[in-house]
Amino acid sequence: MITFPNAKINLGLNILEKRSDGFHNIETIFYPVGLSDILEILPCPDTSKSSSLTITGKAIQGSVSENLCFKVYNILKNDFNIPSATMFLHKIIPVGSGLGGGSSDAAFTVKLLNTLFNIGLDEVQMINYASKIGSDCAFFIKNRPCFATGRGDMLEDIKLNLNAYFILLICPEIHVSTAWAYSQIKPAKHITPLKNILSLPVEQWKILVKNDFEKIVFKKYPELKKIKEQLYEMGAVFASMSGSGSAIYGLFKEKPEVKGLFKENYYFEKFLSF
65 and 24, same structural domain?
A: yes
Q: The CATH number of the domain where 179 resides is what?
A: 3.30.70.890
137 and 266, same structural domain?
A: no
| Residue 136 annotated in active site | yes
Q: What pLDDT shows up at residue 110?
A: 98
Q: Which of 23, 30, 31 is nearest to 185 (CA)?
A: 23
215 and 153, same structural domain?
A: no
93 and 207, same structural domain?
A: no
Cα 119 from Cα 141, distance rounded (Å)? 15
Cα 274 from Cα 162, distance rounded (Å)? 9
Q: State pLDDT tens for residues 107-118.
A: 999 999 999 999
Report percent pLDDT > 70 for the chain.
98
Can you give the pTM of this predicted structure? 0.93
28 and 120, same structural domain?
A: yes
- Asked whether the predicted pLDDT for residue 64 surpasses 90, the reply is no
- Asked whether the predicted pLDDT for residue 264 surpasses 80, the reply is no
34 and 105, same structural domain?
A: yes
Cα 154 from Cα 166, distance rounded (Å)? 28
Q: State pLDDT tens for residues 30-63.
A: 999 999 999 999 999 887 889 999 999 998 888 8
Q: State pLDDT tens for residues 66-124.
A: 999 999 999 999 999 999 999 999 999 998 899 999 999 999 999 999 999 999 999 99
Report the sign of the C-alpha dihedral through residues 181, 186, 187, 189, in that order. negative
Q: In what order do the strands lie in the sheet with 6-18?
A: 6-18, 24-36, 146-149, 154-157
Q: Are 209 and 194 in contact (CB under 8 A)?
A: yes
Q: State pLDDT tens for residues 198-207.
A: 889 999 999 9
- The whole-number average pLDDT for the span 148-177 is 92
Instruction: Tell me if the bond preceding 199 is cis, omega within 30° of 0.
Output: no
Of 126, 157, 188, the residue that ends a domain is 157
193 and 144, same structural domain?
A: no
How far, CA to CA in Å, does 43 sit from each of 70, 79, 217?
Answer: 14, 17, 43
Q: Which domain holds residue 139?
A: 2-157
DSSP alpha helix (H) spans, 146-265: 178-184, 194-197, 205-208, 214-220, 222-233
| Residue 8 annotated in active site | yes
192 and 123, same structural domain?
A: no
Between vectors from CA 6 to CA 154 and to CA 134, what angle results, nearest 5°?
40
What's the structural domain count of the chain?
2
86 and 54, same structural domain?
A: yes
127 and 88, same structural domain?
A: yes
Q: Are 258 and 168 in contact (CB under 8 A)?
A: yes
Confidence bin at 135 (pLDDT 50/70/90): confident
Q: Considering 37, 136, 153, 212, which one is annotated as catalytic?
A: 136
